[in-house]
Amino acid sequence: MSLALLIEQLLNGVQFGLMLFLMSAGLTLVFGVMGLINLAHGSLYMIGAFFCAAAAAATGNFWLGLMAGLIAAAAAGALIEVTVIRRLYNRDHLDQVLATFALILILSEGVRMLFGPFPLYLDAPAILRGTVDLGITQYSLYRLTLIVLGVAVAIGLWALIARTRLGIQIRAGENDREMIAALGVNIRALYTVVFALGAALAGLAGALVGAIQSVQVGMGEPVLILAFVVIVIGGIGSIKGAMVGALLVGVIDTMGRFLLPRFFATFLDPSQAMGVGAALASMLIYVLMALVLVLRPKGLFPAHA
C-alpha cells in the first residue's frame, strides 16, 4: 500500500463527509429549531438531483441545472412545510415519522410520474472533468471541487447563523419558541424559511452528487440513513456536531471499506478476507454510533447541553 493511495482515500473520505454534511445540516437545523423529525429530507435530495439533470439536459448547461435543482428543492421544501409539516410541530415524533414517511412515498411516486422509472443522465461540466496532479497522486477535479464547495457552504452557513439577523432568530428559536414569538418575530415565516434552507442544502447535495452517481428514484434514502447517523453522532440540533459527525462518518466509512479487507487478508485467504472485511466495513459507522451513544448519549456536541 502506497502513501498516494492512503492520501487519495483520505480525500475521498473528506469529500464524502462534506456531502453528508450538506444533507445533515438541514436535517439537524430543522430538528433543532422546530423539533421535527423529517424522514422526507432524502426526497428533497432526490428532487434536487432530478431537476438538475432535467434542466442540464434541456439547456446543456450544468450550472443552470444546479440552480434549477437548488430552487426546485427549496420550493418543494417550502411547499411541503406550508401544506403538511406545519401541522406536525405540536404532534409527537411518531406522528411526524408517519407523516413524513408518507411524504417519501408520495414524492418518489411523483418524481417517477414526472421523469419516468429509468435513471437520468447528468455529467459534470466539461471544465471540471478529468484529474488534477496533487504531486503525490492524481485526483478527480470534480471531487476536489466538491470538497471546496462543501467547505464554502459550511463557512457560509456558519456566518449565516452566527452573524446575521436570521441567524439570531434561528438560534433564539432553538432555545425558546414562545419567547421569540412574543417578541414579535413571525415564527411561522421563520419556520418556512428554515425548512426551505434545509431543503435547498439537501437539493444542492443531490445535484452535486448526481453528476457522479445515478440520478434515480429512491436515491435519497441511503443518504438519509447516513445523515441520521451523522446527527446522532454529532448531537441532534448542532451544526458543528453535524460537521464533525459527517467528516467522521465519511472518513471512517471510506477507510474501513478500504483497510479492513486488507487487514483480514494478512491472515485469511483473499476471498474470505474480502467477504469478512466488506461485511465488517458496512457495520463500522453503526458501531461508531453505538460507541458514541454509550459514552456521550447526547452526541459529541449536544445542542441543548
Using CB under 8 A as the criterion, which residues of the chain lie in contact with another protein when the complex forms? Answer: 1-2, 4-5, 8-9, 12, 15-16, 108-109, 112, 117-121, 123-124, 129-131, 138, 140-143, 209, 211-219, 221-223, 254, 257-258, 261, 270-271, 274-275, 277-279, 282
Smallest gap from Cβ 117 to another protein, in A, equals 5
Smallest gap from Cβ 219 to another protein, in A, equals 7
Q: Which is nearer to another protein, 126 or 295 (CB)?
A: 126
Q: Give me the half-sphere count of Cα atoms (radius 13 Å) on the Cβ side of residue 155.
A: 6
Q: Which is nearer to another protein, 29 or 146 (CB)?
A: 146
Q: Which is nearer to another protein, 117 or 184 (CB)?
A: 117
Q: Which is nearer to another protein, 11 or 33 (CB)?
A: 11
Q: Give me the half-sphere count of Cα atoms (radius 13 Å) on the Cβ side of residue 170.
A: 27
Smallest gap from Cβ 19 to another protein, in A, equals 9
Is 263 buried (19+), middle (13-18) or exposed (0-12) by CB count in 10 A?
middle
Smallest gap from Cβ 204 to another protein, in A, equals 17
DSSP string, 104-169: HHHHHHHHHHHH-SSPBP----GGG-SEEE-SSSEEEHHHHHHHHHHHHHHHHHHHHHHHSHHHHH
Q: Give the count of beta carbons closer than 10 Å to the beta carbon of residue 269.
A: 9
Q: Which residue has the cell 465488517?
A: 280
Distance CA 106, CA 224 (A): 17
Q: Which is nearer to another protein, 180 or 226 (CB)?
A: 226
How far is residue 148 CA from its own chain's centroid? 16
Q: Which is nearer to another protein, 124 or 303 (CB)?
A: 124
Smallest gap from Cβ 285 to another protein, in A, equals 12
Q: Minimal CA–CA distance to 51: which of 202, 253, 226?
A: 202
Smallest gap from Cβ 246 to another protein, in A, equals 14
Q: Which is nearer to another protein, 75 or 213 (CB)?
A: 213
Handedness of CA 52, 193, 107, 45 (dihedral sign): positive
207-226 residues labelled b (16+ CB within 10 A) or e (exposed): bbbbbeeebbbebbeebbeb
Smallest gap from Cβ 261 to another protein, in A, equals 7
